[in-house]
Amino acid sequence: MLPWFQFTTIHIGFITIQVWGHIVALGILCATWVAAKKAKRDGLDSSIVWDFAFWVILSAMVGARLFMVVYEPSIYLAHPIELLKVWQGGFSEMGGFLGAVVALYVFFRSKKLDAWRYADCAAYALPLGFGIGRIGCFLIHDHPGTLTSFVLGVNYPNGIRHDNGLYLSIEGFFIFFLFVLLDRKHAKPKTFVFAFLLLHGVIRFFLDFSRAVDVRYFYLTPAQYVSLVMAGVGILFFLNKQKVPFFDRLER
């Protein structure tokens, strides 16, 4: 059992630093740096990674915010202006992921690049970004789960509960560790993209059953529906000899 604490801000004189935002930014920076290093190691132009990172991050933030409508429709449909108040928090990981996919698709369709090799570099580093960024979620405890006796349960003021921020951080570091091992074995192109979809899709699907406050549609959270699609695409890729026709359009 982990003790309860909450670390949301750091005050330096008249400056207030938001812990969650800065840790997420650190995760993004580290993941981009690792993706660029892998691109260079694979004989690609690392500057391209930094170029598309800007558009991916921007699109991910927009997608993460818009997807909150699915989580809290009564608030955002009644008062759409609330979507612009990003300083109040409220970002969806899955919405961010979908936004990032759109940005990658548009970016590589507009340039004559080896889309899959660059996408593999991004997917390789993405779990590291998740691992670091989700530490911020754990520190502010914005994803309280159901009551539990699990050893990693957090002793919240209202009982020992699962903490999905902690679990998702551990998941991110675990997948990144696996990817480092795969990279040393010279994994085939596209492997990291679809391995991430499969692994994260499956893990996130089951973890969401322990979430306490998320809205549910037919017993599943919005993220679980996206997770099913992610896992399905990953399974399809590996069962069909690493060939998914729809996604291969990226190469054209």
Scan for tokens 């992610």, then name that residue. 230
Phi-psi map region of 102: left, alpha, beta (phi>0 left; psi -120 to 50 alpha): alpha
Instruction: Please give the structure tokens belonging to residue 48.
Output: 């391209």
| Separation of CA 136 from chain center | 13
Model pLDDT for residues 137-188, shown as the tens digit of each residue: 999 998 899 999 999 999 999 999 999 999 999 999 999 999 999 999 988 8
Residue 97 identity: F
Question: What whole-number distance in Å separates Cα of residue 155 and Cα of residue 134?
Answer: 19
Between the alpha carbon of residue 83 and those of residues 55, 61, 66, 137, the distances in Å are 20, 12, 7, 20
Strand stretches in the chain, DSSP E: 9-12, 15-18, 144-147, 154-156, 159-163
Residues of the chain with pLDDT under 50: 246-247, 250, 252
pLDDT attached to residue 245: 52
pLDDT attached to residue 162: 96
Q: What is the 3-state secondary structure (H, E, C) of 165-218?
A: HHHHHHHHHHHHHHHHHHHHCCCCCCHHHHHHHHHHHHHHHHHHHHECCCCCEC
Question: What whole-number distance in Å separates Cα of residue 26 and Cα of residue 174?
Answer: 18
Do the Cβ atoms of 149 and 118 come closer than 8 Å?
no
Do the Cβ atoms of 229 and 97 come closer than 8 Å?
no
pLDDT attached to residue 243: 58
pLDDT attached to residue 229: 95
Residue 219, SS3?
A: coil
Do the Cβ atoms of 175 and 199 come closer than 8 Å?
yes
Gyration radius (Cα) of the chain, Å: 19
Do the Cβ atoms of 38 and 30 come closer than 8 Å?
no
pLDDT attached to residue 81: 85
Cα torsion angle, 166, 168, 169, 170, sign: positive
pLDDT attached to residue 237: 86
> Which residues are CB-contacts of 220 (< 8 A; sequence separation ≥ 6)?
208
